Amino acid sequence: MHTLAAMASDAAQGLAEDAAERFLRYARIDTQSNEDSETYPSTAKQLDLLRLLREELAQLGLTDAAIDEHGYVTATIPATVAGEKPVIAFFAHVDTAREVSGANVRPRRFRYQGGEIALGDSGQVIRPEESPELSKHAGHELITTDGTTLLGADDKAGVAEIMAAAAWLVTHPEIPHGAVRIVFNPDEEVGRGVVHLPVAELGAVAAYTVDGSTAGELQSETFSGARARIRIRGRAIHPGWAKGELVNAIKLASELVSRLPRDARSPETTDGREGYVHPTLVAGDSAEVELRFIVRDFEDDLLDEHLEFLRRLADEVAATEPRSSIEVETRIQYRNMRDTLARHPEIVANLEEAIRRVGLEPRRTSIRGGTDGSVLTEMGLPTPNIFTGGHDAHSEREWICVEDMGLAAATIVELAQIWAGG
């Protein structure tokens, strides 16, 4: 079990309580994004939380708190020390994933005594053998859902922790730090979180997303990500006169999916540094079907190999029925941040020191996914990732530890001081 030395201080306890209180409020606001939308943000309901956050930042006295036409909320915590100090930024996204509903979230806060956690009458159960970190949190306060929705700790926990840290820095001007930028954005879950952000205007030398999981972890490496859309067009005709004429697009789509390997290239059969090809959506009818895939790998050449594998499958299935047409469209979503961050070792070193200062041993891990930091790093703003304390994201069994939320917020406060030389 990780040490809780930092929680002995009133500061860390206060940060935990403030972050938890904010998170409970934010979690109740539905902010699910929509991959199919052509607007930005992709859903108007994300603005409900974004506008609230702008107001809360203004209430802290941050006079430049603003929200722009894309929904980006920004604010600056002014420096408390004289002289030129590096500007750093903290990011978190407000949207939640499509896999599980984010509407009518009913978070439950309680002290965990061990064993399984039944989530209301939903039939959903959080089991220690399925969520390995759970057994380490006996005696801690946890927040879960009622089992009918996701919780939204990805990434409303990061939002709450940044807000708690901002409030602490504002109300404790004796803490030495340079200017700190805060950014909250929509649409991370659909891969468009920071695409419209004027990064240069932040003036930051480094940034940190607060969008991780287990306390003490930090990430300076993510998957590179791509998406693929395969459109299959069959040949329609009334089924009563279909012999020799009908080409059923659903059957062709089924044939393509059935050719995916069962013991490789899939998230359910890979771990560590293995990449995957993952079907996420099937939509259509017997005349036309669309298949969507996300494709992931830590190495760009292997990512390209996975995409080529999909194209070969499409060609093979198309060859079985010349009257059909199968089109494959691919797009790179983000790249691994590893190589860029390796050229700026002080950014991760400072994060490791901040984690040590809150009483944890820092542990570098690789994200089998991406963050806004992947895109920000590619845009010229190196951005590793900080833990939030949340677990089992994108599911009804999502949970988060209140004490770990305090440790994440305390890490933000420590980072601000370290970058100022404190």
What are 270-281's pLDDT values in tens digits?
999 999 999 999
Question: What is the number of other CB atoms lying within 10 angstroms of the CB of residue 262?
Answer: 9
Q: What is the pLDDT of residue 9?
A: 55
Instruction: Write the burial class of residue 196 (CB in 10 Å: 0-12 exposed, 13-18 middle, 19+ buried).
Output: middle
Amino acid at 191: G
Model confidence at 113: pLDDT above 90: yes
Peptide bond into 155 cis (omega under 30): yes
Q: What is the pLDDT of residue 11?
A: 75
Q: Which two tokens stand for residue 319?
A: 């060859």
Q: Which long-range contacts (CB under 8 A, 24 or more apart) does 122-129 make?
A: 122/146, 122/147, 122/148, 122/396, 123/147, 124/148, 124/396, 124/397, 125/397, 126/392, 126/397, 126/399
Angle at 154 between CA 191 and CA 382, to 5 degrees: 55
**Average pLDDT of every residue of the chain:** 95
Task: Name every residue whose Cβ is closer than 8 Å to that of residue 200 and which is 6 or more positions away in sequence.
Answer: 380
Burial of 331 (0-12, 13-18, 19+ CB in 10 A): exposed
Q: Give residue 369's pLDDT.
A: 85
Q: Which residues are within 8 A (CB) of 83 and not within 5 positions of it... i.e. 6 or more apart?
A: none
- For residues 8 and 377, give the distance between their C-alpha atoms in angstroms, rounded to a whole number: 35
Q: Give the orientation angle of helix 249-258 with respect to helix 300-319, to 10 degrees.
A: 140
pLDDT exceeds 50 at position 8:
no
What is the mean pLDDT of the segment spanning 249-255? 98
Share of the chain above pLDDT 70, in %: 98
> Is the pLDDT reported for residue 40 higher than 90?
yes
Tally the residues of the chain.
422
Which pLDDT score, from 0 to 100, does residue 422 have?
A: 82
Question: What pLDDT is attached to residue 13?
Answer: 85
Q: Which of 188, 211, 217, 404 is catalytic?
A: 188
Q: What is the pLDDT of residues 379-420, one digit of tens each?
A: 999 999 999 999 999 999 999 999 999 999 999 999 999 999
Kindly name the residue from 30, 95, 352, 392 that is annotated as catalytic.
95
Instruction: Identify whether 18 is a catalytic site residue.
Output: no
DSSP symbols for 137-200: GTTSEEEE--SSS---HHHHHHHHHHHHHHHHHHH-TTS----EEEEEES-TTTT-TTTT--GG
Note the pLDDT tens digit of each residue in 117-155.
999 999 999 999 999 999 999 999 999 999 999 999 999
pLDDT given for residue 3 in this prediction: 40
DSSP state of 266: S
Mean pLDDT, range 296-310, rounded to an integer? 97
- What is the per-residue pLDDT across 158-206, written as a single tens digit (0 to 9) for each? 999 999 999 999 999 999 999 999 999 999 999 899 999 999 999 999 9
Comparing 2-16, 20-34, 61-75, 265-279, the range with the smallest average pLDDT is 2-16
- In this prediction, residue 10 has a pLDDT band, given cuts at 50, 70 and 90, of low
Q: Is 95 annotated in the active site?
A: yes
Higher-pLDDT residue of 11, 295: 295
Residue 256's pLDDT is: 98
pLDDT digits (tens, 9 = 90+) for 201-228: 999 999 999 999 999 999 999 999 999 9
Structure tokens at 224: 């590179």
